[in-house]
Amino acid sequence: MQNDKWLKKLMERPGLEPDQKFVQSLRKLKNLRGGSEMLYKRYETRHIFMVLAICTFLISPLFVLLVPLAVVHTIHYQYGVFLVYAPSVNYWVIGVGWFFVFLAFLLLFLLDVKKLSIVLSIICIIASGIVSFGGSTSYIKMTSDDISFRGIFAKENNIYGWDEVKKLIYYEMEPEDKEASYYEFYFKDGQMLTIKENGHVAEAQRTFFSLVQDEGVEVQYVTKEE
């Protein structure tokens, strides 16, 4: 703007006729400078999303490992609960949701901050929210009165008293096997629940074994090989 005023004054000065080519060159230089500044700002914004994508990728292992367990403990743990368990599928679903966040930042970097990339990124963020919500609703909880659980994207909780357990099978894997030992709870209405063993489940094993045995539930031990 200041350059335009200066050029106007230069043209209006009496007795001075500036070279038109020189004036045009100055104006082109001004336009080039303005375009380069705009290009620099877009370049700078684009690389901010590159940094965000890298940060999202680097913290993903910690995020995926901690969030499912933190969510189920925050929502479902209360007095009298001796086991709160996040099914392994929760970790996969939360991982997919976090991947959509990473993809949103990556698209804004690769495709530049344009209308298409912004729309695609918004879709990724929405997909991340939907998938992560599904991963946060799944849980398994045990108290001295009942066992309750909910699957991914399930609408209702399943709650069974210990007297509603028909059979419990414990599949014990060999120490050299990669697969973890697991439990299968069979309920009288035909429903079945599988729980893979980890440190928390192993600590609670004696408690829920005692509860089902007090109800006269059949307990089977199976040594399974891969």
Q: How would residue 35 be classed by pLDDT, with cut points 50, 70 and 90?
A: very low
Q: Give 212-224 as a 3 state SS string.
A: HHHCCCEEEEEEE
Condensed to tens digits (0 to 9), the pLDDT of residues 95-149 reads 999 999 999 999 988 887 788 888 999 999 999 999 988 888 899 999 999 999 9
Return the CATH number of the domain spanning residue range 161-226.
Answer: 3.30.720.210
pLDDT at 75: 84
Question: Would the pLDDT of 43 be above 60?
Answer: no
User: What residues does each domain of the chain span?
Assistant: 20-156, 161-226
Over residues 35-55, mean pLDDT: 69
Condensed to tens digits (0 to 9), the pLDDT of residues 188-205 reads 999 999 999 988 898 999
pLDDT at 127: 94
Find, among 88, 82, 73, the residue nearest to 202 by Cα.
82
For the residues of 94-124, what is the DSSP string, one character each?
HHHHHHHHHHHHHHHHHS-SSHHHHHHHHHH
What is d(CA 50, CA 111) in angstroms, rounded to the nearest whole number?
A: 11
